[in-house]
Amino acid sequence: SSSSNSPPANSNNEDLAAKNALRFAPSNSQQEQALTKLLPDDLKARVGQQSQTTERIPLSGNNSGESSAGDGFDDGDDDDLNIRNLSSAKSLIGTCKNMCPDEELLRREREGDIQLLEITDPGGLHPEHWTLRDTAVKRFRRSAADFKLDIPELVRPPEVLERVCGYLEEWVMERDRQGPDYRFAQQPSIVPPPLDVYQFIWDRTRMIRKDFILQNYIGNGGKCDARAVRCHERIARWHAMCEHQLSHIPDFVQHQSQQNIAELGQTMKTLNLYYDDALGRSTLEVASEEKLDHNQGCSSDIVMGKSPIDFDGSALSNATDGDDVSKRLIGKHGMKSPTRGTAEPEMRGLYILLTMNNEGGMEVLKYSGRLCVQRPDVFYSRPVQLALSVFQSKKEHNYARFFKILRSPATPYLYACIMFKYVEHMRKDALMIMSKTYGAKHKTTGEPFFDSYPLENLVELLCYENEEEAREACLHYGITVQDDQVLWRHSKFCEPHDPVKNTIIQLKPRKMIRTIECKLRVGNDGFV
């Protein structure tokens, strides 16, 4: 009857979602009522009414918002008179004022398909007066033959989408680090599992991005403004951050990381379209209909609930004042920023870091070449130059430089999170090169000499967490370590091979708390 099934070993998206759904058996009316109680009053009145299935039947007329051309709602007569001209088609304008459209909320409530992280807890986790309307968020769905997405009532306009970003950041994103969450009382762990929170945020932010696309926010030939840019930047930052923050979870590394990077790539692709907009609208602020807070969807400068504690037990800063708060681009301080809270240089640099391996390095060269010509102010900015120096050091196999940059306080946390993707490759390079170039072998006896290298130096050079990790890495690659010395010439570097699968066994780097996470602890410079 209830939701506490043990999750299968290889959780894929659907399984995690199912695991999270609060599924009630129809016979259990008490639990059914519990959900209904959480609905806002105006929707309570509609419970039990026949579902309007607006999701399936096209709307009549154009009372709210305009339909996009060619969506099948057009009057058949028009076809005879005009040829549909795409260039005069109008963009869909969403009219849904809530984080989740009423239709969806009603349907999901009826089916008991409200996820744990969306359950309202008035007076507990959430303010007294909150209802499901304040906590439910539109889920990701693909359009299908029997389900159309581009209906104005179902699509949220940019102001609302910013609010969703703010809500997710303040009320949901840190749930895995804020201790027990009584909504998870029936679950194996009362602290929300990080992968569940990850899955939820990913799903909801994916729908945010989709709502923008549905409203034709595609840059040239479509719409573009600062709100779309800010939302995508926030989502991009979250994806980038997860790459490293969840790297201590093997399930994430093996099954989710690849997809996470792909989603980050998609988000950045859209951002590039915005920045490349011929009309330069990426910093254009649009006056919202309702003059809500000018806080870019943020209701607060801090995370709501208990101050988060990181996975290794260290406290995370959640203060309302301080340098890092007043310098923020997003939030009430963000409106001071000349770029309306957008950060093109930071994101361009991030894109470079993300695509360093594409086309053998040509993608970065072409990308930066274009930037240099078309946007020199961005090209010569600190973030982009930093990203290019990382690219350079990787290309030249300059592992000393790569790790120097990684450790440097001038390198922001987010950049370090993406550099993490290349750490193992650089370490492997270093070990391979050093194993052939330090020390020598006696011409006649073959005895190695002069090849000792203190292990602790290696730990520093390649930013290992500790000597244990460095020792393990040397062992993995066939390099001899005796006591506290690496002896480069005593054995040959080689990559272990799996004879059964016929693949190379990859070594996954440990989460870099000492080098990367520490950037969150100290007041970091960032890009102001």
Measured CA to CA, the distance from residue 372 to residue 346 in angstroms comes to 15
Residue 319 or 433: which CB sits closer to another protein?
433
Residue pair 22/115 in contact (Cβ under 8 Å)? The answer is: yes
Residue 395 or 521: which CB sits closer to another protein?
395
CB of 511 to another protein, least distance (A): 24
Residue 36 or 385: which CB sits closer to another protein?
385
CB of 367 to another protein, least distance (A): 10
For residue 472, what are the contacts with CB-CB under 8 A and spacing of at least 6? none
Structure tokens at 368: 């930066």
Write phi, then psi, for 323 (nearest 5 degrees): -55, -45
Residue 197 or 462: which CB sits closer to another protein?
462
Q: What are the beta bridge partners of residue 480?
A: 487
Q: Name residue 359's amino acid.
A: E
Measured CA to CA, the distance from residue 100 to residue 155 in angstroms comes to 9
Residue pair 350/415 in contact (Cβ under 8 Å)? The answer is: yes
Residue 108 or 428: which CB sits closer to another protein?
428
Q: Name residue 519's amino acid.
A: K
Residue 318 or 485: which CB sits closer to another protein?
485
CB of 147 to another protein, least distance (A): 34
Residue 167 or 399: which CB sits closer to another protein?
399
Measured CA to CA, the distance from residue 199 to residue 263 in angstroms comes to 12
| DSSP element (H, E) containing 214 | helix 194-214
Map residue 16 onto helix, strand or coil. Answer: helix
Residue pair 229/108 in contact (Cβ under 8 Å)? The answer is: no
Q: What are the beta bridge partners of residue 485?
A: 454, 482
CB of 127 to another protein, least distance (A): 52
CB of 408 to another protein, least distance (A): 12
The DSSP secondary structure of 48-68, one letter per residue, reads TSPP--TTTSPPSTTSSS-PP
Residue pair 208/161 in contact (Cβ under 8 Å)? The answer is: yes
Measured CA to CA, the distance from residue 459 to residue 485 in angstroms comes to 11
Structure tokens at 301: 């400068």
Residue 300 or 398: which CB sits closer to another protein?
398
CB of 35 to another protein, least distance (A): 52
| DSSP element (H, E) containing 440 | strand 440-441
- Positive or negative torsion for Cα 207, 282, 378, 383: negative
DSSP character at residue 188: S
Residue 179 or 361: which CB sits closer to another protein?
361
Residue pair 275/224 in contact (Cβ under 8 Å)? The answer is: no
CB of 424 to another protein, least distance (A): 17
Residue pair 175/197 in contact (Cβ under 8 Å)? The answer is: yes
CB of 80 to another protein, least distance (A): 30
Residue pair 410/522 in contact (Cβ under 8 Å)? The answer is: no
Q: How far is CA 14 from the centre of its chain?
A: 19
Residue 13 or 272: which CB sits closer to another protein?
272
CB of 362 to another protein, least distance (A): 7
Residues making contact with another protein (CB under 8 A)? 360-362, 365-366, 369, 372-373, 395-401, 404, 430, 433-434, 436-440, 450, 452-454, 457, 461
Write phi, then psi, for 121 (nearest 5 degrees): -130, 75
CB of 489 to another protein, least distance (A): 9
Residue pair 448/489 in contact (Cβ under 8 Å)? The answer is: yes
Map residue 93 onto helix, strand or coil. Answer: coil
Angle value at C-alpha 326, between 299 and 293, nearest 5 degrees: 25
Residue 74 or 359: which CB sits closer to another protein?
359
CB of 224 to another protein, least distance (A): 17
Residue 266 or 452: which CB sits closer to another protein?
452
CB of 423 to another protein, least distance (A): 16
